[in-house]
């Protein structure tokens, strides 16, 4: 599978994301929104955006892993937060958490502030699309 990061010269240089990723070949994996729920469906780290972001990325990674891939296969991600100001005030530690899971791979990214989530105590939710070389589900 071939991936090419697209950075048009007419756009600002991206930091922490890619403007686009062109993929040739592979299998698409559509990732449902993942919040900070544990295996019992309870939100972990109540009131803690960083703890919830970490768990949401773990949950997203678990889905990709179960399909036979890694988070480096994620080509598109959308991050939804309840409070944009809290997220922006925490950019440095959020970046550290992101790099711990994604390394130096930066998917195309969209970011939205929303008024609420299905889970009342959720502060963040992450969804995405991954492109896998091969599919070998581990369920």
* Three-state DSSP class for residue 61: helix
Q: Are 71 and 105 in contact (CB under 8 A)?
A: yes
**pLDDT of 48 over the 80 cut:** yes
Residues 87-135 pLDDT 10s: 999 999 999 999 999 999 999 999 999 999 999 999 999 999 999 987 6
* % of the chain surpassing 70 pLDDT: 96
**pLDDT of 44 over the 90 cut:** yes
**What CATH superfamily is the domain 26-132?**
RutC-like (3.30.1330.40)
Looking at every residue in the chain, the average pLDDT score rounds to 93
Closest CA to 37 of 15, 73, 63: 63
In our burial notation (b when 16+ CB lie closer than 10 A, e otherwise), range 67-77 reads: bbbebebbbbb
Residues 60-74 pLDDT 10s: 999 999 999 999 999
The whole-number pLDDT of residue 2 equals 85
The whole-number pLDDT of residue 139 equals 56
The helix/strand count (H/E) of the chain reads as 3, 6
Residues 9-34 pLDDT 10s: 999 998 888 999 888 888 999 999 99
Return all residues near 100 (Cβ < 8 A) that are at least 6 apart.
Answer: none
Give the angle subtended at the CA of 84 by the CAs of 122 and 41, to the nearest 5°. 10
The whole model's pTM is what? Answer: 0.90
């Amino acid at each position: 599978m071939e991936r090419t990061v697209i950075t048009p010269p007419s756009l600002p240089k991206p930091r922490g994301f890619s403007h686009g990723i062109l993929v040739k070949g592979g299998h698409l994996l559509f990732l449902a929104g993942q919040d900070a729920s544990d295996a019992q469906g309870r939100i972990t780290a109540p009131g803690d955006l960083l703890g919830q972001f970490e768990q949401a990325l773990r949950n997203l990674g678990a889905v990709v892993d179960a399909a036979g891939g890694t988070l480096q296969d994620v080509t598109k991600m959308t991050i939804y937060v309840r409070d944009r100001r809290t997220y922006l005030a925490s950019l440095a530690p959020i970046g550290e958490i992101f790099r711990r899971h994604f390394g130096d791979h930066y998917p195309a990214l969209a970011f939205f502030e929303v008024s609420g989530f299905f889970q009342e105590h959720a502060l963040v939710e992450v969804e995405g699309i991954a492109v896998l070389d091969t599919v070998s589900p581990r369920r």
